Structure 1
Amino acid sequence: MSRHRTSWIENLPEAFQEYLGDRRLEEVEAIIPDIVGMSRGKAMPSHKFRPDETFFLPISLFYQTISGEYVDMEIEDQWLERDIVLRPDMSTAVAAPWAEDATLQVICDLETREGAPLPIAPRNVLKRVLDLYSKRGWKPVVAPEVEFYLTKPNTDPNEPIEPPLGRTGRKGASRQAYSMVAVDEYGEVIDTIYDYAEAQGLQIDTVIQEGGAGQIEINLMHDDPLKQADQVFYFKRTIREAALKNGVFATFMAKPMRDEPGSAMHIHQSVVDVKGKNIFSDSDGSPSAAFHHFIGGSQKYLMSVVPLLAPYVNSFRRFNAEGMSAPTNLEWGSDNRTTGLRIPNSKPIARRVENRVIGIDSNPYLAIAASLACGYLGLVNKIAPRPAAVHEVFECEHQLPEGLASALDLFDEDHEVREVLGKDFCQLYSDIKHAEHDEYKREISPWERQHLLLNA
C-alpha cells in the first residue's frame, strides 16, 4: 500500500480507527442516498479508492419508482443516461461493521459533469435550503426521532406482517410504550444496534419501546441538519443489518400492521443566529416573533409538501387509523401530542418546534429540507400562526390530505415551495410519485381477493 493511500486511512475518524484495529482495510463503498433514501453506489478494493478521486453513476437511477420501474418524463435527452459525478465527502466516512471484511462507507456529493451541484440529488436539496438560511445569518438545528418495527421475516408479500418472537419465546405485545421489559425482549437486536452505532461513531440519545408490538424508537442528538440527515441515512441501514444478524426484519414502513400504530420520524427544529443564540426566544426568555413566524410558515406550507413527508400510499394509512397517535392536522400547542406541531417543554435556550407529521418512510434529506423550507418561508414572509391549541385536536378545519393523489395536487400547485426546494427536483419528484400511484392503482390487494372473489 502506497504512503499516499496509507495517509488518508490514518486520517479517518477515531471510531473507524478503533473498528479497524490491526486489520487491513479491504473495501470502500462510495454511496449516495437515492430518491427513496436508500443507498446506491460502488464498492471497490481499498487500493482503488482515493478521497480526491471522482466516480460516476448514470443519472437514470433517479428516474425509477420504488418498484424499480423507469418513468418517462419531459427531460431533454432523458435516455442518454449521462453520467453524474460522485465526490466523496470524507467527513461522512464510517465503518460498515456488518461486513465480513473491514469496510469503509463514504457518502458522496453529486455533481454534473460541468461541476455544478446536481439539483435533483436529495442531499443537494437539503443543502440548498440550508444555504438560504445561511444567507440570512441563520443556522437550523434539528433532532430526529427514528421509529421502526422489528418483525418476523416476511418472505411472502401476500402474508400479513407479524411481530417477532422475543427472548421469552412470545410475540411482542402492543400498547407497551416506554416499557423497559418490552425493550429487553429484543435486547440482542438493540445490543447489536449499539455495537454497530459505536463502530460508526453514530450518537444515540435514548432508546424506548413505542406503542406497537415490536416497535422501537431511537432518538438522536440535536445537531446540524445535514449531519443528522446523514445519521438517519446510516441508522436505517444499520438497524436493518442488526435485525438481519439476529434473524428478524426491521421495517421503516409507515404502517406495516393494520391494527398497530404507524411509525413516524418526528423532527425537533430550532434556529440559531451567527452567535449561536436561539432566535425562537427573546432576551427575556419569552417566545420571539421569529418563533411564531416559523410556526406560521409551517402551518401554511407543510400542507403543500406532504408528499415529501408521507411519500407512499401506505404513508396515509398511518394518518387514517383512529386512536393511533398520528396527528392529522397542522395545529400547534404547548406539550400537546394531538397537534401536528408540538412545542415541547423546555428552557428558552432550547425552545423548538416538533414536526410530528413526518413518516419514517420518508427520505430524511427531503423530509428535513421540506420541513425547514416551510419554516424558512414563514420567517421571511413573517407569517402569523393560528391561535395555539389548548385542548385535544382530533378534527379541525385544516386537515392533512387524505391520500397521495390529493397531496400531490397541492404539491404541484405551490410555486413558492418549488422555488425554495428547486423546480427541477420538484418536477422530477412529482412525476415519480404520480407514476408510483398509477402503478399502485393497478394492484389487486389480498382484501379484494378475500372479500370480493366469491361474494361480489
Structure 2
Amino acid sequence: MSERARPPKPDNASLAKIRRDKPKKRASTEPGGAGSPATGRFAQPREAGRRAFLDARRGVATMGEAAQWLQARRIEDIECITPDLAGVARGKMMPAKKFTGNTSLALPSALFMHTISGEYPDETGTFRYSPNDGDLKLVPDLSTLAEVPWETDPTAQVICDLVDTSGQAVGYTPRNVLKRVVSLYEERGWQPIVAPEIEFYLVSKNVDPDYPLTPPVGRSGRQISGGQAYSIGGVNEFDELIDDIYHFSDAQGLEIDTLIHEDGAAQLEINLRHGDPIQLADQVFMFKRTIREAALKHDIYATFMAKPIQGQPGSALHIHQSVVDVRGRNVFSLPDGSPSPLFFHFIGGMQRYVPAALVMMAPYVNSYRRLTYGMSAPTNNAWGYDNRTTAFRVPTSDAAGRRVENRLPSSDANPYLALAASLACGWLGMVNEAQPDQPTDKTANEDGAISLPRGLLEAVAAFEAEEAFQDVLSREFVGTYAGIKRGEFETFMQVISPWEREFLLLNV
C-alpha cells in the first residue's frame, strides 16, 4: 500500500479488495490458455492416463519428471539461476538435455561477495573471501521449474540452492538464510505464513544516469501524473503492459492476488497470496524479473528502487506475517478469538530487533531517502491496529486471519533477506517473550522524530552489534553482508551528486 495518509485499505485477504476485473486475453503463443492447462505453444494433446505433472505450469518432483516436462514443451535451453545478496539472478544457461544428464553446476564463491556495482570490497572485520575462491555448487529446486515466457526460443528456468563441495548449505547465500530462519520456527512446531505486497514504478527509458527519471507516457498520449491511488483509469493507461504481466505470470505458475495503481506517478502495486515464506520469496524474485521484462517489451523501465523520483512516494515491500501450529491454527489467536501472548511477543520482537535488522530491509543508500520524515513512509518502530503510520500494523481481520504487517521494508530489498530478517525478529520476540509497548491510534510520525537508523552505515553498525543475529542468521552471513554494505557505501561516496554541484559549487 502507498504510505500516504488516506482512507483505510480493505483487508488484504478480502475478496472485496479492488481488483482489476478486465478479462485476461490469452495470446496464441502462451502455454496454458484459459480453461485448459494444456493449450498453447508447447502443449501436447491431453491423453487418457497423461500424468498431471506434465500439465503443471510450475514445478515437478524428480529429475525424471523434469526430463518429460521439458520434452513435452520442446524446451531447448534452461536457465539455472540463484539470487545473489542483492537479489540479482546469477547462474548458467545450458541445453535442456545436458541439464537432465546429471551435470554438475558451479559458481565461484566470490560472486556472492561483491557489491551491487560489481566491485569486491576490502576484507574488514569478519568479512573474508575464500582463499582459493572455490566453487559453490548449484542444486536445482525442481519445485520451481517453469517456462521463461518472454524468450522467443522455448526456454525454461529453475531456481537453485547453493552448497559447498561437501554438500553443506552455504550459510551466507539468501535462500539458505531464509531456510535457516524458517527451520527455527519448525523446531518449535510453528510454520510462518507471509503475504508480500510489492510496489514499483514504471519510468521512461533513461540511458544517462545523470538525468532524473520521468514518468512514462500512457495510452492517452500524456505523461502520467501522481495522485491516482486505486484509479482504474491509471491502471488502464498501461493496459497492454499489464496484460503481458498477467500472461507472463500465468505461464510461470505465479499467482497475482490484486493489482492496483498507487499514489506515485505510474506507481503500481502487486499483492501476492499468503503462503510459505520460501515459496513467496521465490515468487517475488521471479515477479521482479517478470515485470522488468514486460516493461522492456513496451520500451519503458520498471524499477524497484526505493525512491526513484524526487518528490514522489517511495516504493515498499510490505510483509504480512502470521504463524500457525502443526494443526494449521493461528497461534496469534486464543480459542476464544482474542489475541494470544505469542501475538504480543511477536510484535515485541519486531519492535526490539527490527531497527537492528533494518539494513536487510533497506539495503542501499537510496533506501533511506524513502525512510525520511514528511515523505509518508513509517519512520518509527511503533505499532497499532489498522494504523498505516506505524511500522507494524495489525490489519482488521477475524481471529484466524490475525497477522502483523511490517511496513518498513522497501521494494529494493532482496525478498529472501527481507523475509528472513522480519521473521527472525518476530521469532526472537516469541522465544524471548518480548513485550511490546502500547499500540497507538495516532499519527505516529507527525512529530519529526525518527527512531530508526538514519543511513546505511548506521544501519550496518546496528546490525553487527546485535548478538542475537549471530546465531539466528549465522555469524558467517552477518560478517559477509556487513562487509558488502560497507563496500557499497564507499563506492557511493565516490560519486558527486547534483545537490553538491548546486549548493556547494559557487557558495563555499
Give the Cα separation in 2 of the matches to 1:20 and 1:48: 12
Q: 1:398 to 1:449 in 2, by over 3 A?
A: closer
1:15 and 2:57 correspond: yes
One-letter identity of the residue aligned with 1:184: N
Give the equivalent residue in structure 2 for 1:228. Answer: 280
Give the equivalent residue in structure 1 for 2:172. Answer: 120
1:391 and 2:433 correspond: no
**8 Å CA contact retained: 2:84, 2:90:** yes
Give the Cα separation in 2 of the matches to 1:12 and 1:61: 35
Give, in angstroms, the shift of residue 77 of structure 1. 6.3
Give the Cα separation in 1 of the matches to 2:448 and 2:346: 21
The Cα offsets for residues 322-366 of structure 1, whole Å up to 9 and x where unpaired, read as 1x3210111110010000000001111000000000001000000
Give, in angstroms, the shift of residue 75 of structure 1. 6.0
Where in structure 2 are there 5+ consecutive unaligned residues?
1-50, 60-68
SS in 2 for 1:320: coil
1:29 and 2:84 correspond: no
What is the TM-score with the length of structure 2 in the denominator?
Answer: 0.85
Q: 1:87 to 1:51 in 2, by over 3 A?
A: farther
**8 Å CA contact retained: 2:58, 2:143:** no
One-letter identity of the residue aligned with 1:306: L
1:361 and 2:412 correspond: yes
Give, in angstroms, the shift of residue 116 of structure 1. 0.6
Q: 1:151 to 1:396 in 2, by over 3 A?
A: closer
The Cα offsets for residues 178-205 of structure 1, whole Å up to 9 and x where unpaired, read as 1111011111111110000000010000
One-letter identity of the residue aligned with 2:431: V
Q: Once structures 1 and 2 are overlaid, which stretch shifts more, 442-451 or 175-184? A: 442-451
- What's the C-alpha RMSD, in Å, of the aligned pairs? 1.8
**Among candidates 352, 364, 368, match of residue 316 of structure 1:** 368
Give the Cα separation in 2 of the matches to 1:373 and 1:120: 15
Give the equivalent residue in structure 2 for 1:261. Answer: 313
Q: Once structures 1 and 2 are overlaid, which stretch shifts more, 66-75 or 355-364? A: 66-75
Q: 1:52 to 1:247 in 2, by over 3 A?
A: same
Give, in angstroms, the shift of residue 449 of structure 1. 2.2
**Among candidates 490, 493, 505, match of residue 441 of structure 1:** 493
**8 Å CA contact retained: 1:293, 1:378:** yes
Give the Cα separation in 1 of the matches to 2:224 and 2:142: 40
Q: 1:77 to 1:198 in 2, by over 3 A?
A: closer
**Among candidates 230, 243, 257, match of residue 191 of structure 1:** 243
Give the equivalent residue in structure 2 for 1:39. Answer: 89
Give the equivalent residue in structure 2 for 1:5. Answer: none
Q: 1:24 to 1:174 in 2, by over 3 A?
A: same
1:237 and 2:289 correspond: yes
One-letter identity of the residue aligned with 1:67: S
1:182 and 2:234 correspond: yes
What is the TM-score with the length of structure 1 in the denominator?
Answer: 0.94
**Among candidates 104, 107, 110, match of residue 57 of structure 1:** 107
Give the equivalent residue in structure 2 for 1:248. Answer: 300
**8 Å CA contact retained: 1:151, 1:161:** yes
Q: How does 1:42-441 map to 2 (within 5 A)?
A: 42-50=92-100, 52-73=102-123, 78-322=130-374, 324-394=375-445, 395=447, 399-441=451-493
Give, in angstroms, the shift of residue 454 of structure 1. 3.5
Give, in angstroms, the shift of residue 53 of structure 1. 4.0
Give, in angstroms, the shift of residue 452 of structure 1. 2.8
Give the Cα separation in 2 of the matches to 1:105 and 1:160: 34
SS in 2 for 1:155: coil
One-letter identity of the residue aligned with 1:369: A
Q: 1:336 to 1:56 in 2, by over 3 A?
A: same
Give, in angstroms, the shift of residue 131 of structure 1. 0.5
Q: Once structures 1 and 2 are overlaid, which stretch shifts more, 49-58 or 158-167? A: 49-58
Give, in angstroms, the shift of residue 211 of structure 1. 0.6
Give, in angstroms, the shift of residue 453 of structure 1. 2.7
Q: 1:442 to 1:283 in 2, by over 3 A?
A: same
Give the equivalent residue in structure 1 for 2:10. Answer: none
**8 Å CA contact retained: 1:53, 1:87:** no
Q: Once structures 1 and 2 are overlaid, which stretch shifts more, 63-72 or 36-45? A: 63-72
The Cα offsets for residues 151-170 of structure 1, whole Å up to 9 and x where unpaired, read as 00010000000000000111
Give the Cα separation in 2 of the matches to 1:66 and 1:433: 9
SS in 2 for 1:43: strand
One-letter identity of the residue aligned with 2:439: A
Q: 1:57 to 1:269 in 2, by over 3 A?
A: same
Give, in angstroms, the shift of residue 16 of structure 1. 5.7
**8 Å CA contact retained: 2:84, 2:173:** yes
One-letter identity of the residue aligned with 1:434: R
Give the Cα separation in 2 of the matches to 1:76 and 1:69: 15
Give the Cα separation in 2 of the matches to 1:76 and 1:187: 48
